[in-house]
Amino acid sequence: MDYKKLEVYFKTEDSLEEALDYLEKPIKKVTYWANLFQKGVVHDNPNEINKAIVELAGAYSDLRIALGLAEHYKKSKELERYMEIKTEIETNGEKKFVSASAEKEASRDVIPYRRVRNIIEAHKESADKSITGLQNVNNNLDKEMRKNPA
């Protein structure tokens, strides 16, 4: 994955959906394997388990990089908005600056960034948990095979 290409999509709220489009491949990999796990297709096939682990590890890697960018831009945009609100209030002198109110307003203004970040984070976590579960299943299958060689 080209993180510099992905980063362009996080720069403005208008292009955030394109970030998810760019991440379509790793997101679909996670969803594909999750659907197979739920159907019980992979649970006793070592070749499929290993294939899933490799594919999910690749997806995890891409999603982890994307999550780092998403977190950075969400925090950056939130701080930027917070400072705008603070400057506006202090410049106008109409009312006393209240940090908690400005934080809530800034947080509200980055909802689209939080949404994209949460989608990426959820898929990254799903890949991570799936890999861990598959490794456990694989280890158990290995133990079974050693106990009961063919």
Provide the pLDDT for residue 133. 92
Provide the pLDDT for residue 65. 97
pLDDT digits (tens, 9 = 90+) for 34-76: 999 888 877 778 889 999 999 999 999 999 999 999 999 999 9
Provide the pLDDT for residue 150. 62
Is a pLDDT exceeding 90 seen at residue 121? yes
Is a pLDDT exceeding 80 seen at residue 94? no
Provide the pLDDT for residue 37. 86
pLDDT digits (tens, 9 = 90+) for 10-29: 999 999 999 999 999 999 99
CA distances from 69 to 18, 77, 110, 114, 123 (A): 14, 12, 14, 12, 15
Torsion of CA 29, 31, 33, 34, to 10 degrees: 160
